[in-house]
Structure 1
Amino acid sequence: MGAPLPTNTDTGHNHIVKDVSSNTDHDGGLDEAVQFERNLGFLEACRLYPAAMGWSIFVSLGVIMLAFDPQLLGNLYAMPQFQSDFGYLFEGQYIIAASWQTGLSMGNPVGQVVGALVAGYPMERYGRKWTFGACVALTTGLIFIQFFARSLPVLLAGELLGGLVLGCYAVIAPAYSSEVCPMAIRGVLTSYVNLCFVMGQLLANGVCAGTSKLHDHWAYSIPFALQWFWSLIILPGLLFVPESPWWLVRKGRLAEAEHVLRRLASGKVNVRRTLAAIVETDRLERELEMGSTYWDCFRGVNLRRTEISVGVYCTQVLSGIYLINYGTYFFQLAGLSKEDAFSMGIGFLAVGFLGTILSWPLIVRYGRRTIYNSGLFFLIVLQIIIGILDCIPGRPSGVAWAESSLMLVWNFFYDISIGPICFVIISEASATRVRSKSIAFATAAQGALGCIMTVAIPYMINPDEANMQGKLGFFFGGLAALCFVWAFFRVPETKGRTYEELDILFERKVPTRQFESYVIETHGL
């Protein structure tokens, strides 16, 4: 990689280092604010910022709705009543045609593409809070189409329209969490977004496992109706959600930003110092001409930052996460009974829930890069093993259970590594002025890949098509291996860095593997 880059003694960057500590407030200065955040431990941050944690968790509830919908569809494809009402006979059994599975399932990824890109504008103009509220209100109305659908074309319309709004939640939640939480807890709270994905999927599996025994339209109408539950919780609470202080600072509303910071922190925190740090970071980014448009995501140093965000998010799709949407159906095609397939689907997501929670102490202790790359390596190994098992001649009965069990293990490693870490990285790698648009573009890119997988997977697993079964492990294992090579050379360690420090590291073009050890010295820090 060449000789190590110099620290602040490099005269070419001295103006940046001096600017970091040149502005101080009358309460003790910017330096003390930065030092306070650096020295703040995880448990102490939890005690000092309970409101920030609570509101971050609250806004992330939208992601549960986002995850519930596609997982619900994947379960409906394996539900006897849904199959008989919407499918056709094939070798004595009702199935949903792969073309219709593709069309219905396209609603969510298409929504992530269009909805995510659209979300960036109102988030920057009207703020995170009111954009979130508008999305919840729209989702509440669009659920009516899904609930009353009695034909595939009507259901398709409901899924496509609903998906456009649901895609916005994947942008709002990580952006909001990263902007209301201090550095010590932002990793856990942004990774909580992944837990919301898992909870939405787990709830969909649990509900469908219960209603699948019904013999009328309520077998699938009840799961659709349960989506209104989250609207009833979120809409009243929305009146009390504080706006992002970073957004308020960019709008020049410093008095409101200070008021919000007081709401988010306990009385022991000097919020004026926190506000000074936010103002200084915003000033530095304006000096570095980072801008705030989609085009600015690809200008100068922001191109590298956007690449990282897009890469870690797309890796989720390329490593096989879209199989979760077809989990129960996949288990059924692998040879398990209907009851065992639904039970395995619930267990599949239960281990994901556990994995996400166990990732939190790892995030606090080991950071981002090590966990991300290690987890991705294990996913590759597991996928290859699943593919090899499927090649056993005669495919003995135990192979179905072995493949299904390994998929559970795969999901555990996914949700302890690249699942939650992705949301931490996309929040920290992006500059604050383009964060909403950078996350939106990464979400859209992930959604575009999701569209491809949504088209491909039904044709790869359906018994009347390719019927690949466990051989999908070779396909996704190979794609994940390519992602691993990219991540090793491109994903830096962002743990323990303030947003201002990250701006400086990227501006100096510090090599990926030097991010963790690179020293930024400033006058007074």
Structure 2
Amino acid sequence: MGRFFNIFAAAFVSIGSFLFGYDSGIISSVITFEHFLEHFNQPNSNTNLIGAVVSTFTGGCFFGAAASGYLNDRVGRKRTTQIGCVFALWGCSMQAGANSIATLLIGRIVAGLAIGCLSMTVPLYNTEIAPPKIRGFMVGLAQQMVGIGFIAANWVGYGCQFIDSDAQWRIALGLQLVPAFMLLVGIQFLPFSPRWLIEQGRDDEAHAVVLRLHSKSGSDTSAAEKEYAEMHDAIKAELHVRSRHISDLWSSPAMIRRTFVAVGVQVFGQFTGINVINYFGPEMYQTLGLSKGKVLLVQGIYGAVGPITNFFFITLLLDRIGRKKPLLYGAASFVVTFSVLAAIVASFPPTATTNLSAQRAGIAMIFLTSINFSLSFGPVSWVLASEVFPTRTRSIGTSAATCANWAFNVLFSQVSPVAMVRVTWKFYVLFICLNAVSFVCIFLFFPETKGKSLEDMAEVFGDQVDTQEVLAKHGDTRLVHEADSDHKSDKLTEKADYA
């Protein structure tokens, strides 16, 4: 089985990310449906409803991500995913069956709790089951499924607009129940995270999972045995010297750097402005002077560009070129694209000109932003945020990073509609400055983690914990390697072949 089962498990769990993309994308279509507006007695100018729907959902996501840190440590990655699915079924059912705005908004909050939980847990699970050589690809599958969810939402929204009844919006919202139920049932047949099992003292189960996921073949288990020995020793040592408090995230210079990298990469991902485009793309196209008909066409095409780019990047490049270079490229490219976009909107105001060349150049910059995001922060932010922490703080650390993502998501989703109307092109200057700051911080403080096992991160960040010494001190020597010097040499010079 080995690699095939490993990739299958990561891809299946990433259905949770598909829910993230679909839920985020479908509401932008539903909110414009004629029968939806009539049912809730909303005028055509429904700015207040849009703001409420967006803010309640993203607010729920923030609290869902915060709670999932505790849940992942307490009940594990699998059970936390299932809890997220139960909340998704609950919230989506309320939305699809809503007969009042209050019911709809409560459904959005509950669904937000689910998506916040899944957006943090899916990358975490994929990180902990992945071998180092393809970890970027496997965690990048989460971002890939977010994009596919957006594509599905665009087409479902397009098709449902032709239904002449309340089924128009109820079907669009209700279809979320299908992937939520699939994941709830299907993940039961996938393994627990081996690293979480070791934390719980279930070493034999963890050993069996590692052999199942990482063995080259039925007879060749040497690479998997080495992987298990290293993770066992490192995790057991952490159990003796670490507590489980949020203060652990800044308890030492190494942990401060880990936390800065994880939280920073998530915040910098919001600095790219990608969610401003995702949520308010039509408004941005209108500022370029496009008609409503052309706006819908361009938005539909835009939705497919990112996932296609992301797929080729995580498949062919991410685990070869690493994490830091793509992030530097992305931050620099966004400085350029937003500079050009600001110049176009400032020089050719849509109310004063219909310059087709300017319109095309502006659309090209928006599309290029999506492409560059898929070549950088899109997949890398989830990979890096979940791989830099030691096992004992990985749940709470990833939770903190994801909460930071959602906090800035809420901020930009609330500010952007007003800013695009009141300050027009000057709003894009903000993203020029923010991405310039991101570039400097990444260049100075972010390490390269490509090809490192999760246990090797101690060397990358300079943790002062001697695994062998701690285990020997506490009498836990079951899997301590016989020759410490050889073990250290192996970790520095050899990488297991997980073919």
Are residues 1:342 and 2:309 paired?
Answer: no
SS at 1:95 equivalent: coil
Match of 1:378 in 2: 333
Match of 1:482 in 2: 437
Structure 2 contact 57–109 (Cα < 8 Å) conserved: yes
Match of 1:96 in 2: 46
1:430 to 386, 389, 394: 389
Match of 1:306 in 2: 259
Structure 1 contact 75–326 (Cα < 8 Å) conserved: no
CA distance in 1 between counterparts of 2:487 and 2:188 reads 43
CA deviations on 1:143-174 (whole Å, 9 max, x unpaired) are 12111224433321211121012100111111
Give the deviation of 1:378 after TM superposition: 0.6
Which residue identity lines up with residue 396 of structure 1 in the other structure? T
Structure 2 contact 40–101 (Cα < 8 Å) conserved: yes
Which residue identity lines up with residue 238 of structure 1 in the other structure? I
Structure 2 contact 90–110 (Cα < 8 Å) conserved: no
SS at 1:408 equivalent: helix
Change (3 A) 1:185 1:115: same
Change (3 A) 1:151 1:59: same
Which residue identity lines up with residue 476 of structure 1 in the other structure? F
Give the deviation of 1:332 after TM superposition: 4.7
Structure 1 contact 176–244 (Cα < 8 Å) conserved: yes
Give the deviation of 1:274 after TM superposition: 2.4
Structure 1 contact 81–212 (Cα < 8 Å) conserved: no
Give the deviation of 1:218 after TM superposition: 2.7
CA deviations on 1:191-248 (whole Å, 9 max, x unpaired) are 1111111111121112112222344323322210110120242233122011000000
Structure 1 contact 207–223 (Cα < 8 Å) conserved: yes
Match of 1:173 in 2: 122
Give the deviation of 1:466 after TM superposition: 2.4
Structure 2 contact 274–369 (Cα < 8 Å) conserved: no
Change (3 A) 1:448 1:388: same
Match of 1:58 in 2: 12
Structure 1 contact 64–196 (Cα < 8 Å) conserved: yes
Give the deviation of 1:106 after TM superposition: 1.4
1:114 to 44, 63, 84: 63
- TM-score w.r.t. the length of structure 2 is 0.86
Are residues 1:209 and 2:161 paired?
Answer: no
Match of 1:497 in 2: 452
Which residue identity lines up with residue 295 of structure 1 in the other structure? S
Match of 2:275 in 1: 322
Give the deviation of 1:412 after TM superposition: 0.6
Are residues 1:291 and 2:243 paired?
Answer: yes
| Percent identity (aligned) | 25
Give the deviation of 1:449 after TM superposition: 1.2
Are residues 1:67 and 2:24 paired?
Answer: no
Aligned length in residues: 459
Q: Which moved more, 1:329-338 or 1:189-198?
A: 329-338
SS at 1:496 equivalent: coil
1:225 to 157, 174, 179: 174
Are residues 1:410 and 2:372 paired?
Answer: no
SS at 2:346 equivalent: coil
1:259 to 203, 208, 213: 208
Give the deviation of 1:439 after TM superposition: 0.7
Structure 1 contact 49–181 (Cα < 8 Å) conserved: no
Match of 1:517 in 2: none
Match of 2:379 in 1: 420
Are residues 1:396 and 2:354 paired?
Answer: yes
Change (3 A) 1:477 1:216: farther
SS at 1:522 equivalent: helix
Match of 2:422 in 1: 466
Give the deviation of 1:255 after TM superposition: 0.8
1:507 to 432, 448, 462: 462
Structure 2 contact 91–106 (Cα < 8 Å) conserved: no
Change (3 A) 1:134 1:88: closer
Which residue identity lines up with residue 358 of structure 1 in the other structure? F
Give the deviation of 1:108 after TM superposition: 3.1
Match of 2:494 in 1: none
Gapped runs of 5+ residues in structure 1?
Answer: 1-46, 510-519
Which residue identity lines up with residue 459 of structure 2 in the other structure? I
CA distance in 1 between counterparts of 2:367 and 2:431 reads 16
Gapped runs of 5+ residues in structure 2?
Answer: 465-485, 492-499
Are residues 1:387 and 2:346 paired?
Answer: no
Change (3 A) 1:245 1:111: same
Give the deviation of 1:285 after TM superposition: 3.2
Match of 1:235 in 2: 184
SS at 2:243 equivalent: coil
Change (3 A) 1:409 1:496: same
CA distance in 2 between counterparts of 1:467 and 1:81 reads 33
Which residue identity lines up with residue 124 of structure 1 in the other structure? D
CA deviations on 1:105-130 (whole Å, 9 max, x unpaired) are 01332123211110111211111111
Match of 1:130 in 2: 79
Q: Which moved more, 1:378-387 or 1:334-343?
A: 334-343
CA RMSD of aligned residues (A): 2.3
Structure 1 contact 48–269 (Cα < 8 Å) conserved: no
CA distance in 1 between counterparts of 2:230 and 2:191 reads 19
Change (3 A) 1:82 1:345: farther
CA distance in 2 between counterparts of 1:259 and 1:316 reads 37
1:272 to 222, 225, 229: 225
Give the deviation of 1:81 after TM superposition: 4.6
Change (3 A) 1:370 1:137: same
Change (3 A) 1:329 1:204: farther
Change (3 A) 1:377 1:67: same
Give the deviation of 1:88 after TM superposition: 5.4
Give the deviation of 1:297 after TM superposition: 1.6
CA distance in 2 between counterparts of 1:163 and 1:282 reads 33
Structure 2 contact 337–365 (Cα < 8 Å) conserved: yes
Structure 2 contact 447–460 (Cα < 8 Å) conserved: no
Change (3 A) 1:86 1:95: farther
SS at 2:450 equivalent: coil
Give the deviation of 1:333 after TM superposition: 5.5
CA distance in 2 between counterparts of 1:427 and 1:114 reads 18
Structure 2 contact 288–345 (Cα < 8 Å) conserved: no
SS at 1:157 equivalent: helix
Which residue identity lines up with residue 10 of structure 2 in the other structure? S
Structure 1 contact 78–329 (Cα < 8 Å) conserved: no
